[in-house]
Structure 1
């Protein structure tokens, strides 16, 4: 089972003169995408007992995601209010004291033996105590479990850039796989070409750094020659959840190929990486072809 740990929240999306609540969050989206792809998946993040918490639980349950490690909380669900400015989405977060924000390192349980790998990232890495909690989860388990991290950097959410950079420099060396977009790399290493910036991250210690660039496809930097896979051409409705679904496709492929382990990733081949990038691209293409973060089910994937 792949354990996903990171934010779930409610996006309040404009709809006429009011707002429509939609379940979201980068790591939450990846957990649902993994479950829909038929991969045994668990989720570790506090779920509020408020009505929005129930709205978050329903898609997890439908996708077969194990929520047994999710603590239930009387604190409120994080809200992200989405407004439009000249057609661009602007987010206002209502997060102080929320169920997810207040996850602490003391809340991180001993992981059951059925956990095979950890996926973490998103804005949950930024604030404390939840950022410290995710860091603790990785620190305690990275020696025996493969870890994939997608920091999904959102500069508008980062109030202390130096503290966040320091956290990333602690946790990225503990990861086996790091996924970064070109925007992430520009924030981490301003002025460097994306591939040069990705190599800087690779030098920190991960086995594989995945570099995604939307329509330009995905590349994997590792100990061998760079592996590339093109994006799948499709009519784009929007790009919400594309990267989160790509992550799920990569992890699902690695597990199916039998290389989602510390030893498996250490001995991985270029062909196996290419297969993972391809499945990630195929899954992401379906997500962007329809509105919202709506990852594909296994039966929708190419044979």
Structure 2
């Protein structure tokens, strides 16, 4: 089972009304939540570890998990409010304003972390949950405690300026990246993580030298590439799509990659260290296909397996 560890929140997305004005509509979301939902819809065994409120938005999140076949036995429930992310769409691309103070997701402490059962074979970390404390330190503690015996994928999904203390954020993130087996970054993420190296492949190699066996880099309409442990580079083109918006695109790409590797029996530490170019190409192409369907409809609404 894949355990996705990180934020579950409500995306407030503008929709036109009958009067022509826009109103915000609440959609279940969050980077890690989206990845979990996508994995469930793609038929993989998946659970979510997150701080989730008992308020009406928290109930909405839990209902959406159930509808997408995502387990909730690792949720940490509290009466704190749900994080809200107000979305502004510019030419289909999303910009966010987060309301995250004192929320159920942000305020989880390491003492509240559950013990993980042997059914958990892979861990996924990412999103804004790695930027703000105390939850960022809590997820770092979980990775240090449980990552050595399970495959670990990370998508840092850098949001510059979101972390209150950027230096502390960078130090924690680099420590976590060093413990990951596979890391997915955008080209912009990579430039922020490795600022002193020029060139995409050179930056990816510098990141790989920090610890990950596999580094994946997404480049929007230019597709994605993957750097294997032996230095080989694999690239795939982006799938053509009529873009409605890009909300959840990277999150569902992550799910597609993990789903295909899991299906092939390759989502393990040992397998990722010896992954072949052919297997990685399959995973990247599947991730691109899943993401293309997501961007063709509003919000983070990943496809079901039968749609592929």
TM norm structure 2? 0.93
Please give the secondary structure, in 2, of the residue aligned with 1:239.
coil
Equivalent residue, structure 1, for 2:67: 62
- For residue 35 of structure 2, the aligned residue among 6, 30, 47 is 30
- Once the two structures are overlaid, the 10-residue window that deviates more, 220-229 or 146-155, is 220-229
Q: What's the Cα RMSD here?
A: 1.6
Equivalent residue, structure 1, for 2:248: 241
Equivalent residue, structure 2, for 1:127: 132
CA distance in structure 2 between the aligned counterparts of 1:34 and 1:86, rounded to whole angstroms: 28
Please give the secondary structure, in 1, of the residue aligned with 2:118.
coil
CA distance in structure 1 between the aligned counterparts of 2:225 and 2:268, rounded to whole angstroms: 21
Distance 1:232-1:90 versus aligned 2 partners, 3 A rule: closer
Gaps of 5+ in 1: none
Q: How does 1:112-261 map to 2 (within 5 A)?
A: 112-190=117-195, 192-222=198-228, 223-261=230-268
CA distance in structure 1 between the aligned counterparts of 2:25 and 2:290, rounded to whole angstroms: 26
**Do the aligned residues in 1 keep the contact of 2:123 with 2:150 (CA within 8 Å)?**
yes
Gaps of 5+ in 2: 16-20
Equivalent residue, structure 1, for 2:8: 8
Equivalent residue, structure 2, for 1:110: 115
1:189-220 Cα shifts (integer Å, max 9, x gaps): 33722222111110101000001001111111
Please give the secondary structure, in 2, of the residue aligned with 1:156.
coil
Does 1:46 pair with 2:31?
no
**Do the aligned residues in 2 keep the contact of 1:108 with 1:136 (CA within 8 Å)?**
no
Query: 1:159: how far off?
Result: 2.5
CA distance in structure 2 between the aligned counterparts of 1:86 and 1:30, rounded to whole angstroms: 24
How many residues of Structure 1 are paired with residues of Structure 2 in the alignment? Answer: 301
1:39-74 Cα shifts (integer Å, max 9, x gaps): 000100011110000111122101110001102111
- Once the two structures are overlaid, the 10-residue window that deviates more, 142-151 or 257-266, is 257-266
Q: How does 1:76-91 map to 2 (within 5 A)?
A: 76-83=81-88, 90-91=95-96
CA distance in structure 2 between the aligned counterparts of 1:156 and 1:266, rounded to whole angstroms: 34
1:77-123 Cα shifts (integer Å, max 9, x gaps): 01122356899755332211100001111112210111110001101
**Do the aligned residues in 1 keep the contact of 2:223 with 2:236 (CA within 8 Å)?**
yes
Does 1:268 pair with 2:275?
yes
